[in-house]
Amino acid sequence: MKKITKDVSAITAADQNQTGLRKSLGKCSKGLSTVEYIIILMLIAIAGIGLWRQFGATVIAKVTAADGEVSGL
């Protein structure tokens, strides 16, 4: 009878530990804000790279056009 009682108490203790673990994991949000900031930073970087490439293409087109004008003089 003592063995059954020990087994039941061991199962109960394990269940309580799992419940506590679930509660603590549910409340853990320290790393979440860091991940959100990294995602936002990556989106801003991608947008910046795209805008920089567009700006570069515009500058190249204007310099090429200006070169043609200077060559025509």
Containing domain of residue 57, as a range?
A: 2-72
Alpha-carbon dihedral sign for residues 57, 63, 64, 69: positive
- Domain count within the chain: 1
**Structure-block tokens of residue 36:** 């959100």
This prediction has a pTM of 0.50
Rounded to whole angstroms, the Cα distance separating 26 from 45 reads: 31
pLDDT tens for the chain, 73 residues: list them: 555 655 556 556 656 666 665 666 566 666 778 889 999 999 999 999 999 999 999 999 999 999 988 887 7
